[in-house]
Chain A
Amino acid sequence: MSQANPQRNLTTWKGVCSETDLVSNSGVVVWLDGAQVALFYLPGAQDQTLFAIDNHDPESGANVIGRGLIGSIKGDLVVAAPIYKQHYRLEDGQCLEAPDQRLRVWPVRLNAGVVELALD
């Protein structure tokens, strides 16, 4: 279930919520020391099943990404921003409509029922 491989020993993993807080095929948001991180959980996805991406929507200026709809566009898993409907790639935060727009993403894993984010 854990997929973000622990690349370096230096990585600090921080538990943010329980696995039971997640909603399948949809998003929830966690507070991370001043940042807002949207967690999307796709239990049926082929490779990665858990994604962590910035909750702040640069187009509307509101913190709403976690409430966006999940979809796939040409093979990429994306979230559609709920206000003005731009699509952001879950894997790396890239906006498909605006090449210069990219949301921050965090390495994320499930560790014994706890969702953990990697801090850098």
Chain B
Amino acid sequence: MNHLKTLIVVGNGMVGHHCVAQLIERGALDHYRLHVFSEEPMRAYDRVHLSEYFTGRDAESLALSDASLYQTPGVTLHLGVPVLEIDRARCEVITADGCVAYDKLVLATGSYPFVPPIEGAEGDSRLVYRTLEDLDAIRKAAANARRGVVVGGGLLGLEAANALKSLGLEAHVVEFAPRLMPVQLDDFGGLALKAQIERLGVGVHLSRATQSISAGEQYRYRMNFANDEFLETDLIVFSAGIRAQDALARQAGLDIGPRGGVVINDECLSIDPNIYAIGECASWNGSLFGLVAPGYQMARGVAALLCAQTAEPFVGADMSTKLKLLGVDVGSIGDAHAHTPGARSYQFIDEASASYRRLVVDASGKHVIGAVLVGDNSYYDTLLQYMQNSIALPSEPASLILPSSNGAPTLGPGALPESATVCSCHNVTKGAICSAIDGGCSDLGLLKAQTKACTGCGGCAGLLKQVFEHELIARGVSVDKSLCEHFAYTRQELYALVRVEGILTFDELLAKHGRGHTGCDVCKPAVGSILASCWNQPIMDASLVPLQDTNDTFMANMQKNGTYSVVPRIPGGEITADKLIVIGEVAKKYDLYTKITGGQRIDLFGAQLHELPDIWSELIAAGFETGHAYGKSTRTVKSCVGSTWCRYGVQDSVKMALLIEDRYKGLRSPHKLKFAVSGCTRECAEAQSKDVGVIATEKGWNLYIAGNGGMRPRHAELFATDLDDATLIRYIDRFLMFYIRTADKLQRTSVWRESLEGGLDFLKDVILHDSLGLGAELEAQMQLVVDRYECEWANALADPEKLKRFRTFVNDKRPDPDIHFVQERGQRRPIMAAELNLIPVTEEIA
């Protein structure tokens, strides 16, 4: 092994890591022992998505590769070991752990945040936003803070402001320049972005230079600006630009660029033939490159050279970028400021929605050379492709940025040349994607893994999917949308067949339009749901029972140990003392674990199958109905107490919630439906996170649709304003039935809404303006479901044949002897597997 040379990579950020991965992939370990030194204590992580650290992602999930890459024989990763010095004469790096000799050295030391020298800036008034440790410090400072200020209104500054906001702080941005994102945006773009960000409750203070920081009165600190202006805050994050981390290079006597950074040539080589520099610590042609794509480009080039392969020279990089900052789309392409001689612009300004778009074309008027987007990035991919591939502009270039009734104009994936770059982080062309598909790759996830496309910043996800599907179809691969092996139809098509042909049973549908005699656990519940949505017949009827998924079959929610939870309907969350007492008595009698749900109801856990009819007999006798917590159906209508009690309420939100819940209870749909009604704009019922949200106004009700909490939260969209009661209900009728008619199985309204071609405007046309002439039909369908409502549990209890199934053993009265509970906080809960050996002891105690 002595013939191996030593290659050292200093820095394990995104670019350093990419270089290592590329080196390994290209076979560098045949020639080199590889040492990687990192100042940070953990291996390379995704800095582009750093802010997600505050919204639930942990350090491990941000890591860029699994740990095994650095366990490859021949690779040594030194974490938390900064390189202190480079001895170029002896070809050695010096660390606290000793000296290591190198044959080749790659500097990938990145950058550090620049903090202007301001009197009084220290501790929590001098935070920065760069590493996971920085984020930990911000989180700590935010724990007792109400307000936070970010100094710097650039890309990273706005990211940091978003982070502060997600930590629950009132966030402010202080920018020295007269506009936000001065590098990427022009004046109008800056204005539009400011308007949008202010609407989100973030304070924006432009043309402000902080002169000193002193103790505050209302908050911890006071930032003093010129003209006696000031702003008080509990913490300050500096994001006033980055500086190349070039201290090592300076010490080693390498050439440093005019704005800092190791001077490199087109091969990323410094003046020392054995030392390369890549990423943010490198200065090429006097410029620094603070984005991940050019850094990756340099890393690839250097890795190729070190493996004696041909490398594309680095000749600058496209600094185009698109992001979502504080939820606002911002895009900047090429020559956004139209600095190119002869450049001309088209601009579109929408002050109502604070959107702005600018298209910059060259002197000939034939090619795109730049663009600015604020408010809607759906134009980005197309504009970028026009620029990167010098595609000739259409006869009316402004059409590329003007709103159209069909959404943003898109350049079909078929129009892209093979050389078109789809993923600029990993330099993946359309041609590379095509050859992967030709090589047998027919799965999007696999395609990403094989080509690395879309695994950098992720910005090309939409385009990649389009190209992928287009190419599959072009190769005659049909994208199979069949429900399952028994039905070659989508859910939507089956819905239409059931309704048009008046089909009432699964067997009839299977005989007429399916294959086989049995169906499966995919199509049976889907068809069961369609039949219920259309005809609303009792799900316990003999022909329907076998279709239901396990929870619907027994009209209760199966828990992990095979017991059930029971949720009686508590409409609008309103309940009398007498009914509360009944729930308490039932829970006590059957020893049920009791918990308040998020939907203002009470969940009773731990009932065995044979106990369900008795429990429900008692609940129904007291006036309760089933809550359908087990169904893909209407769940709850959450409400605040409204104008009856609340001094702020402007409408009776409880009454409206009761009206809505009573109308839609029992409605089965492609997925569960959650509603809420708030009695004023303070929105205590959180209606904007529901499938259907209603918020009171002075004049009536505002309707919001397609919100979601849970795994993929989505704010509901304002759909119609100041509605009277009857109109509100009519619109909800139409909205729900249109969803039931057109959604895929198990598709929540939020995902359905996002997949609708034509988007919100189309949906408004259909529901509010009846553009498809469906309104009366949808309302009539809903009325049929409403008229046929009956409590499923009451129906089942009245029929001994239906109760036959509610027996743990049909030949024995005993309960399931394998179900065990332990006591915890005064109630029982299922025993954990690890506790099983304790059973005898627990039983003695109990």
List residues of chain A with CB under 8 Å of any chain B CB. 16-17, 21, 23-26, 28-31, 36, 42, 44-46, 56-57, 60-64, 67-74, 77-78, 80, 82-83, 85, 87
Contact = CB atoms under 8 A, between A and B. Distances in A.
B809 A31 contact: yes
26 contacts: A21-B811, A23-B804, A24-B542, A25-B545, A26-B545, A26-B546, A26-B553, A28-B807, A29-B808, A29-B810, A30-B812, A44-B517, A57-B562, A63-B818, A67-B554, A67-B609, A69-B520, A69-B546, A69-B549, A69-B550, A71-B518, A71-B522, A72-B518, A77-B518, A82-B549, A83-B560
A23 B805 contact: yes
B525 interface: yes
A78 B522 CA distance: 12
A83 B557 CA distance: 11
A30 B811 contact: yes
A24 B542 CA distance: 8
Interface string B818-839: 1100000000000001000000
A73 B814 CA distance: 34
Given A29-B809, A71-B521, 7 more contacts: A26-B553, A29-B810, A31-B809, A56-B818, A63-B818, A70-B518, A78-B520
Contact of A72 (B520, B553, B811): B520
A64 B558 contact: yes
Given A16-B811, A69-B521, A72-B518, A28 B805 contact: yes
B804 A73 contact: no
A7 B697 CA distance: 77
Contacts of B517: 44-46, 72
Contacts of A23: 545, 804-805
B298 to A, nearest CB: 45
A74 B485 contact: yes
B811 A31 contact: yes
Contacts of A80: 520-521
Contacts of A36: 809, 816
Interface of B: prevailing SS: loop
A33 to B, nearest CB: 10
B480 to A, nearest CB: 16
Contact of A69 (B524, B805, B808, B819): B524
A61 B518 contact: no
A16 B804 CA distance: 16
B516 interface: yes
B560 A60 contact: yes
Contacts of A29: 807-810
Interface in B354-384: none
A42 B546 CA distance: 10
A25 B520 contact: no
Interface in B529-586: 542, 545-546, 548-550, 553-554, 558, 560-562
A56 B524 CA distance: 23
Nearest to A27: B805
A103 to B, nearest CB: 15
Given A30-B811, A63-B818, A73 B546 contact: no
B519 interface: yes
Nearest to A73: B520
B809 A69 contact: no
Contacts, number: 104
A78 B484 CA distance: 15
Contact of A62 (B546, B549, B560): B560
Interface in B663-721: none
Contacts of A72: 486, 516-520
Contacts of B525: 69
A62 B545 contact: no
User: Which of B521, B524, B816 counts the most A-chain CB atoms under 10 A from its CB?
Assistant: B521
The 10 closest A-B pairs by CB, nearest first: A71-B520, A62-B562, A82-B550, A25-B546, A80-B521, A31-B812, A72-B518, A21-B810, A69-B521, A31-B809
Given A29-B809, A74-B485, A67 B519 contact: no
Contact of B550 (A31, A67, A71): A67
A55 to B, nearest CB: 9
B597 to A, nearest CB: 21
B556 to A, nearest CB: 11
B518 A42 contact: yes
Contact of A85 (B516, B521, B807, B819): B521
Contacts of B546: 24-26, 69-70
B518 A30 contact: no
A30 B546 CA distance: 19
A31 B562 CA distance: 16
Nearest to A57: B562
Contacts of B810: 17, 21, 28-30
B549 A30 contact: no
A35 B358 CA distance: 74
Contact of B558 (A16, A56, A67, A70): A67
A85 B746 CA distance: 16
Contacts of A64: 550, 558, 562
A80 B521 CA distance: 7
A107 B486 CA distance: 29
A72 B554 CA distance: 22
Interface string B509-521: 0000000111111
Contacts of B519: 71-72
B757 to A, nearest CB: 32
Nearest to B809: A31
Contacts of B549: 69, 82
A24 to B, nearest CB: 7
A29 to B, nearest CB: 6
A38 to B, nearest CB: 11
Nearest to A87: B521
B213 to A, nearest CB: 56
Contacts of B518: 42, 45, 70-72, 77
A57 B816 CA distance: 14
Interface string B476-516: 00000000011000000000000000000000000000001
Contacts of A57: 562
Candidate in B485, B520, B542, B833 with the most chain A CB atoms within 10 angstroms: B520
Contacts of A63: 562, 816, 818-819
A74 B561 CA distance: 30
A44 B814 CA distance: 32
Contacts of A16: 811
A14 to B, nearest CB: 11
Nearest to A23: B805
